[in-house]
Structure 1
Amino acid sequence: MSQRIPINIFCWQQSIPLYRLKYYYSWRLRIASYYQQEGFTETHLSHMEGMILKKSPHRIQGWQQIWVECSDNRLVYYLPDNRNTPFGIIDFNIMTYSIQRIIDQHGNLIEFFSTQWFQKNFIFKAKTSLETQKWFNAVSECWKDSEGAKRILQSLNKYPKFWRTDRISYEQFSKVGEAGDILLFRGRGINCQIQRGLTGSEYDHAAILLRFQSGPLYMLEATGYFGVGLCSWKDIIENRWFELYEKIMIRRLDIDRDHQFIRTVQEFVNENMGKKYQFQPIQMLKNNRSVQQINNQTNRQQRTFFCSEMIVALYKKLGIFDQRNSFGPFLPGDLSSLNRGFNVLEGKLHPEQLIDFSDI
């Protein structure tokens, strides 16, 4: 029997470059699971995916077939011929929406839509009324325990077509970020622009996310000033160092973080803290170093890292990187989802999400 859902759900809305410090703490990393975070338990989540119809805002196009995935308080839709890149993301955790349904004269559900205050509607339906009802139930389940259902969130309204970019609020990032997730940075400074120009990369810096046993988030990075070191996300927020970047992206690694995984990350951190940083783009492009070459340098004490090479080295040590089919140079942009040659052998590496600091 289908769960009873109200016809209308209305939600009223009112309209330091030298910051890279080393942190010498114990290297016991917390084994944390997404579903153990506060407010996120498996029983609260629903999952549904499949092909349905979405009404285009352009009358001439009418209804378009799309692939939809509904889970984790999000509804993500793709064009049928490209399921690697989302065409739209409705994230109930970072924006307040209302969910409404349209019924025919016989009481059958024929359409449902999600909307917010500036009257952008996302209208969907399935091939049959029964299937449409199932989708409406699933979307409502995703919506009802989301952050946007509990309080008014409107920070994304200032961005045109914000639903085209996959975002994650800093609050959510601080809850779900885990050891091994990849961070990609696009800096504002002239040096960052020069580096991107030399490398032809979308990003100019990369780092690995870490979470300690006590819970706080850190990132392990290789920089020209400090070499390989740690930086606290608490300090990044308090000092607003995130404003040094045009954008910071996260690629979440979906994998079983068992005791062996955590121990391997711990060993990697211990082995490489303080290692020197080296960025020689011309030499990197000529050498075309492989993953094996990065990790099998004869003198480990003299090993140098470019920021993105360090991430590849960690994934190799974890045994989850495809060494045989992967070759350098390993630049920050090569770690993005656009590079089909950067894959993991175990788990899933999700596409980038833009970390949204609007509410900070």
Structure 2
Amino acid sequence: MIQTSFSYDALPMRVRFGSGVIASLPEEIARLGARRALVLCSPEQRDTGEAIAGALGDRSAGVLAEARMHVPVEVAARARARAAELGADACVAVGGGSAIGLGKAVALEHGLPVVAVPTTYAGSEMTTVWGITENGRKRTGKDPRVLPAAVLYDPDLTLGLPIAMSVTSGFNAVAHAVEALYAPDRSPVVSLMAEEGVRAMTEALPAVFADGGDADARAKALYASWLCGATLGATTMSLHHKLCHALGGTLDLPHAATHTVVLPHALAHNQPAAPDAAEALSRALHADDPARRLWDLAGSLDAPRSLRDLGMSESDIDPICDEVVNAPYANPAPVTRESVRRLLHTAWTGDPPRPRPLKATRP
């Protein structure tokens, strides 16, 4: 069915994509009118961060390798202080959602422009969404100040991404596109990007799994992550992201792996209430039951399929359920305590996704 009523706001950002495009980074910093950029990355990406700083030459203000999942408020505060101390007037965020999220936290406080250099498939670089975790609770919001001024997608930088991380990061990207297909503020443009993003990513991941050095597969996965991230940037999030924000912020579960486990179950909950989205996903995945297809794909790629295996205790289900139900996101299917608890328990055990039961109708 053609959507006949919608609005679409294009985000003001610049994207450069291609093998070796990282060489244009000094040019992009100069284009912003910036003099010195602080490179932000995680401790695991320090070598890459140092290489990026070296490529910046005199335009480098140094490297801060302290990015962590869910952007703890104390890490954000240290990054802001370090940027001010070094006189940085721009940031280069290198890595996945943790590094780019840290760049956004600096931009939110100081208004410094961010150039994002993604090395995973998280997609945060395409959105105005920021998140900071404090006292076990993750706060999120939207602000145009945090949108990267430029994004450099260089598939060469993803060749060293570990296979397991590649798979879960890819599922994280797919989750963005899945929810965009039934978001209340979706548009035909977003739906086209979302369907293509799901198709490209789920085709690329088995090839990446088979050979992490497959340059074509890596480029296809990064292309898919761009599309999936763009859909996240153009729409509001629903039950899946609410669940993952609660699980990550409260229990500090690994971000991409949590998305991987939860996605099939959240989709199974919503499929009956979102027939157009289910039809698009069926085309992209070549499957009658998209939720079950994603669960099966995760298993075939040795991805986690149980919240219990990620470190969640069964006693955590009720507190997470309360957090989700008490402040729900917009969602096509009803979000009740009973249905969310059922969803979480199935995701915790690692059983196949169970469709949301439909209420019986009176004759």
Q: Tell me the TM-score range normalised by the shorter chain.
A: under 0.3
1 or 2 for the larger relative contact order (CA 8 Å, sep ≥6)? Answer: 1
> TM-score, normalising length from structure 1?
0.27
Flag the structure with larger Rg: 1
Higher strand share: 1
Higher helix share: 2
